[in-house]
Amino acid sequence: MAEKRLYHTVANQILELIDSGVFPTGSRLPGERDLAKKFGVSRVAVREAEIALQAQGRLEIKVGSGAYVLDGSKGSHNGLPKVGPFELTEARALFEAESAALAAPIITDDAIAELENYIGIMSGKVKSEMTPDDADAAFHNAIARATNNHAIIFVIDSMWKMRKEAAQLQKVYRCVCEKDSSHREDEHQAILTALKNRDSSAARQAMRAHFTRMIEALLEASEEEAYQEVKRQASESRSRYMLAKQLS
Amino acid sequence: MAEKRLYHTVANQILELIDSGVFPTGSRLPGERDLAKKFGVSRVAVREAEIALQAQGRLEIKVGSGAYVLDGSKGSHNGLPKVGPFELTEARALFEAESAALAAPIITDDAIAELENYIGIMSGKVKSEMTPDDADAAFHNAIARATNNHAIIFVIDSMWKMRKEAAQLQKVYRCVCEKDSSHREDEHQAILTALKNRDSSAARQAMRAHFTRMIEALLEASEEEAYQEVKRQASESRSRYMLAKQLS
DNA sequence: ATTTCATAATTGGTTCTACCAATTTGTAAA
DNA sequence: TTTACAAATTGGTAGAACCAATTATGAAAT
């Protein structure tokens, strides 16, 4: 929690008070002078902290009135929305399939070798400092890069970041991944084979199958245990998923 | 250029000096005291401006040393990459087609009515405060919202923002859109019809056709006049586009 | 001539005081 | 009750002063 600049620690203290519900969304913060006294720092430090929070979109400062807490739930600090596991996987199924299809005809041999390496890391056959999860991310990112399309690269990266963000999502994914790590390897291999053959349709199909299986695993996991929140989302998304499956 | 808070104007002044090459990437800015004197403001104002720029990732401040200009070329102020017209349109062709396909089976009648309204605005038959371009954006955004998938909404919105960013892109698009406004109307109508029929495949196809035609218009435009920069990109992308066309 | 190292100068970090301007609040008059 | 004006509160800006980290300087040692 100790930061380099004083205003960082102050900003974090304010953030904590916001997250703990002391300052709910929409409420007005105490004046700069009060906060300075409360935190035992100068008014300038509080001011800089509030400016930084404003730049992050967490506060709105009105002159002569005060600083107000903005809704930090969506479009939070890095501009990414918070998404549920189902909708994210659904989106990835669609977009990554197109990414792979576009990459297939033009992927280089170097990129193919890179993908093989990542599969090796994920299966544990190749030792590396990368975690299997990092290798998984690198695998999908490398395919996006193979499209040579910066917009596509951005989209794929963004979705991976969304996945990394939600702590809850992390748990669910970890569970699903551990359970089906062998499936995952086969599926990645199938994707690689399709790319090796420069077969667009096969690549699209393999990538869709990869995520379709993941959605099924998520559905299964949502039946178990304490995934109540996921369960709620599951009921919302299941019908859509079934429909989406038809048009694969 | 006149902002509400003084540190905003100072930040913009600094940004201008950076963009105009006075302070190249990696160089050190003059001290806070010097800048304060140069801009005729207090040191506090300069300081707050630099903090805001640091929050935006444009500066790195080292204590006792100075403020250094960071590379603002990629992942710039809003986290969006700078993309060329071809790659962006290519990505939109793929992703928006899937968005429409997913929306088709579940789109509500209200959303259909909304889309009809936007088409009316674009054709000038319905009067509104919206510009045709805004209506165009709203049209595609509404389809994304119809998917009820926040990740997809984010992606479609992001790509629209990328389009709005590049000034050069703006020029080209405007040229293309003006020339083929009638085509655009027909294409949007076709997309709407497919959605009305809840026909996923038709929606996908119609959306692809919409962007495929746009790419062709871009290629044509790049042949003309002074679009040298676009031309360069065109030669890079043309082969990819041809390949992508095959797998439509 | 080169290296080393203590010192001075520079730079950002923090605090304090003071005053200005916009906003809100409170109160008295209509 | 409503209106109008004044006072209190709040953020905005300025200047000076001092601290701590960094960098530049220059004399002394090699």
Full DSSP string of B142-200: HHHHHTT-HHHHHHHHHHHHHHHH-HHHHHHHHHHHHHTHHHHHHHHHHHHHHHHTT-H
pLDDT in tens, A113-123: 999 999 999 98
Torsion sign across C-alpha atoms B114, B118, B123, B129: positive
H or E element, residue B212 = helix B200-223
Residue B66 CA and nucleotide D27 C1' are separated, in Å, by 28
**Token output for B1:** 């250029």
How many Å from the N-terminal Cα to the C-terminal Cα in chain A?
48
As a whole number of angstroms, the distance between CA B47 and CA B112 comes to 51
Instruction: Enter the tokens of residue B192.
Output: 């709407």
- Listed in sequence order, the DSSP H helices in A70-199 are 85-103, 109-123, 132-146, 150-165, 167-179, 181-196
Q: Does B48 touch chain A (CB under 8 A)?
A: yes
**Annotated domain spans of chain A:** 6-69, 85-246
Residue B40 identity: G
Q: Tokens representing A107?
A: 């992927």
- Average pLDDT estimate for B177-206: 88
Angstrom distance (rounded) from CA B72 to CA B86: 23
Residue B227 has pLDDT above 60, yes or no: no
Nearest to B78 by CA among B96, B64, B57: B57
| Cβ contact, residue pair A91, B155, below 8 Å | yes
ipTM: 0.68
Q: Considering CB atoms only, which of B87, B243, B247 is closest to A150?
A: B87
> Residue B248 above 70 pLDDT?
no
Which tops the pLDDT comparison, B131 or B76?
A: B131
User: Could B149 and A87 be called an inter-chain contact, meaning their C-beta atoms sit closer than 8 Å?
Assistant: yes
Q: What is the mean pLDDT of chain A?
A: 84
For residue range A40-49, what is the model confidence (pLDDT) as tens digits? 999 999 999 9
Angle between helix B228-246 and helix B167-179 axes, rounded to 10 deg? 60
Q: Is pLDDT of A235 > 60?
A: no
Q: How distant, in Å, are the alpha carbons of A33, A107, B15, B59 from that of B70?
A: 34, 32, 11, 5
- A57 Cβ partners below 8 Å, 6+ apart? A70, A72, A75, A76, A77
Shortest CA gap B149–chain A (Å): 5
| pLDDT value for B247 | 47
Q: What is the mean pLDDT of residues B24-46?
A: 93
Q: Which residues contact A132 (CB under 8 A, 6 or more apart)?
A: A121, A122, A124, A181
CB-based contact B9:B2 (threshold 8 Å): yes
The 10s digit of each residue's pLDDT in B111-142 is: 999 999 999 999 888 888 888 888 999 999 99
Residues in chain B: 248
CB A243 to CB B55 under 8 A?
Answer: no
Tens digit of pLDDT for each residue in A161-184? 888 876 565 666 666 666 666 778
The secondary structure of residue A28, as a DSSP letter, is B
Indicate yes or no: strand C within 7 A of the C-beta of B6: no
Residues 102 through 161 of chain B touching chain A, CB cutoff 8 Å:
102, 105-106, 148-155, 158-159
Does the beta-carbon distance from B7 to A247 stay under 8 Å? no
Closest-CA distance of chain B to residue A159, Å = 7
Alpha carbon separation from B153 to B96, B103, B142 (Å, rounded): 10, 11, 9
Classify A66 as helix, strand or coil.
strand
Report residue A170: phi and psi, to 5°.
-50, -50
What is the per-residue pLDDT across A52-67, written as a single tens digit (0 to 9) for each? Answer: 999 888 999 999 999 9
Residue A201: its chain B contacts at CB < 8 A?
247
Give how far B146 is from chain A: nearest CA, Å. Answer: 12
Tell me the CATH number of domain A6-69, given options 3.40.50.10470, 1.10.1040.10, 3.90.1150.10, 1.10.10.10. Answer: 1.10.10.10
Answer whether residue B169 shows pLDDT above 60: no
Domain B85-246: give its CATH architecture. Up-down Bundle (1.20)
Q: How confident is the model at residue B74 (pLDDT cuts 50, 70, 90)?
A: low
B81 DSSP 8-state letter? P
pLDDT in tens, A65-85: 999 999 876 544 567 777 888
- Rounded Cα distance between A36 and A44, Å, is 8
